Amino acid sequence: MRILSGIQPSGTLHLGNYFGMMKPAIELQERGEAFYFIADLHALTTVRDPKALAANCHDVALDFLACGLDPKKSCFFRQSEVPGIADLAWILSALTPMGLLERCHSYKDKTTRGLTPTHGLFAYPVLMAADILIYESDLVPVGRDQKQHLEVTRDLVGKFNDAYGDILKMPEAHIQESTAVVPGLDGAKMSKSYHNTIGIFEEEKSLRKKIMGIKTDSTPVEEPKPTQGSTILDLYRLVAPPEEVARMEADFQNGGVGYGDFKKRLFEATLAHFAPFRARRAELAANDSTVLDILEAGARRAGDLAAKTLDKVRRAVGLR
């Protein structure tokens, strides 16, 4: 089984990225042949500062490796270092109906938020389909916000194969229900565009400030508190051991503990959860060449595979 996923280097990685995609992807590297990449071509749709883009790519590489991506088990690379992705995206574009892309929420969300409606932003799902299809991926671990893009990819496989024969492999999304939409500090989906994120490697001081600032209702300390829709509890479930989660749930239900205490527990559990990753990240950061070597070797391996698929596709459409 081949597993593939990508992450954009468009800002600091957060708990949504980690629990929604990185953790499931890291677990899946035990179950098949994994290909994980830094989607720098996609990030060009929003990042216009070349220095920031380069720095973000490096940070994403460090973050993903520190969180447990094992380069011995997974092929890890930068999207732009594999030739052929843009070629396949163009070939797919030629048979992508406008209506399919017009229906995509992510384009609508981004333009509603004020991003310039560029062709890159609009055609984003086609480039993503090319990523998935060029490596003949079976399974694509993603958060719920990418579900529609996987549906577009599957549609394009159907259209391509109908037109040219059984060439492209049909992929499937792998969405873990419990972490499909990780909430941010305000309870909405955690996203850098909503300014509600907790960074995986958030500094201790800033982490405390963010968590202590989570808005709560005005239930008095001694009263029971609603567990449904509590951001504190939802985040705590992700980072705390099960027995501590059960204790917090009981304290919510029984009353007698204030929100301040719950937030302190959440802060401490978050810090403890990511402490081993922090240590590993510091080690990796001290040796930059290791990271570059990993990405270079990854790009070579991914490139061999991509070239094979692209060759099949080019022959099928009549470009050979």
- Judged by CB under 6 A, does residue 47 bind ligand TYM? no
Of 140 and 200, nearer to ligand TYM (C-beta) is 140
Contact 63, 281 (CB under 8 A): yes
Binder among 23, 42, 225, 263 for ligand TYM (CB under 6 A): 42
Annotated catalytic, 263? no
Binder among 139, 140, 200, 291 for ligand TYM (CB under 6 A): 140
Of 6 and 71, nearer to ligand TYM (C-beta) is 6
Distances (CA, A) of 52 to 137, 215, 231, 296: 30, 32, 31, 20
How many residues bind ligand TYM, per CB under 6 A? 26
- Judged by CB under 6 A, does residue 123 bind ligand TYM? no
Q: Which residues ranging from 267 to 306 are in contact with ligand TYM (CB under 6 A)?
A: none
Which residue number places its CB atom closest to ligand TYM? 20
- Judged by CB under 6 A, does residue 6 bind ligand TYM? yes
Q: Write down the catalytic residue from 51, 73, 192, 209.
A: 192
The CA-based dihedral angle spanning residues 159, 41, 279, 246, taken in that order and rounded to the nearest 10 degrees:
-40
Annotated catalytic, 308? no
Binder among 23, 110, 189, 225 for ligand TYM (CB under 6 A): 189
- Judged by CB under 6 A, does residue 199 bind ligand TYM? no
- Judged by CB under 6 A, does residue 134 bind ligand TYM? no
- Judged by CB under 6 A, does residue 143 bind ligand TYM? yes
Binder among 40, 59, 63, 131 for ligand TYM (CB under 6 A): 131
Handedness of CA 71, 300, 2, 46 (dihedral sign): positive
- Judged by CB under 6 A, does residue 146 bind ligand TYM? yes
- Judged by CB under 6 A, does residue 171 bind ligand TYM? no
Report the interface residues with ligand TYM, using CB under 6 A. Answer: 4-8, 16-17, 20-21, 39, 42, 128, 131-132, 140, 142-143, 145-146, 179-182, 189-191
Could you list the active site residues?
A: 110, 189, 192
